[in-house]
Chains A and B, each alone.
Chain A
Amino acid sequence: MSKHTDELNDLGRFSEPALLIMISLADGPKHGYAMTEDIEQISGQRLGPGTLYGGITRLEARGWIEPLPSEDRRRPYKLTTSGHKVLKHRLAAMKTMAKIATTRLADA
């Protein structure tokens, strides 16, 4: 497993919400409400505000997302360059696992 996917696992119970947040930001900056709606649409999961901001806090602390200036209270975030790399590696690992699982199911 690459160093980047190890780092994502270090987020413990927030690793899945963090991944969802990063996927949501992959197509452009969003604020909290937009992330919540987008994540619910793509995954069927609705992140509570505590879980969402727990993930945002940890991702920002690691430098994988960063806030953008905003004129109102809603602050948008975007993926950083290192965040892009972490997300890319994690998705590549998941793609490999999905391929192996699919092959095994087909052979079973």
Chain B
Amino acid sequence: MSWLRNLEISASGLTAERLRMDVIAGNIANAQTTRSADGGPYRRRGVVLAEREPARFAALLAGEMHGGGGADLAGLLAGGMDAAGLRVSGGVRAEGIAPDSRPFKLKYDPGHPDADANGYVQLPNVDVVMEMTDLITASRSYEANVTALNAFKAMVSRALEIGR
């Protein structure tokens, strides 16, 4: 249902932001973890987000049905493309979860069970203040996506009232 394409775009934003929240929560929870699954302290993670391209065939098909035959601009725009090939984004997708390569923090604590020969403990490279900022960004982005979705829903409801 391409007339509900807007819902798909907002839905992808919501999913991506929720994933970011999960990763941030994991970073905060593991801010003091000295033993991670792969040995060594926990390394901070981040989500890599990429643009999701809409189905090109669907856009062309919608353009064909609308304009019939040639590369009619109105027809292409109906399908979400313009003549230069620039198109409405299909939303966002999470490409992967990447580790942060910055060095670990060192803390002098010879009594710690994970202290090395010199008495230093390697702590995760997680800065809780940065994580809190990212958390605020992620939750506000989530709310913004919900607002966009509600606005679109209101538009559709008003359009349906035309016929009443």
Do A and B pair up? The answer is no
A-contacting residues of B (Cβ < 8 Å)? none
B-contacting residues of A (Cβ < 8 Å)? none
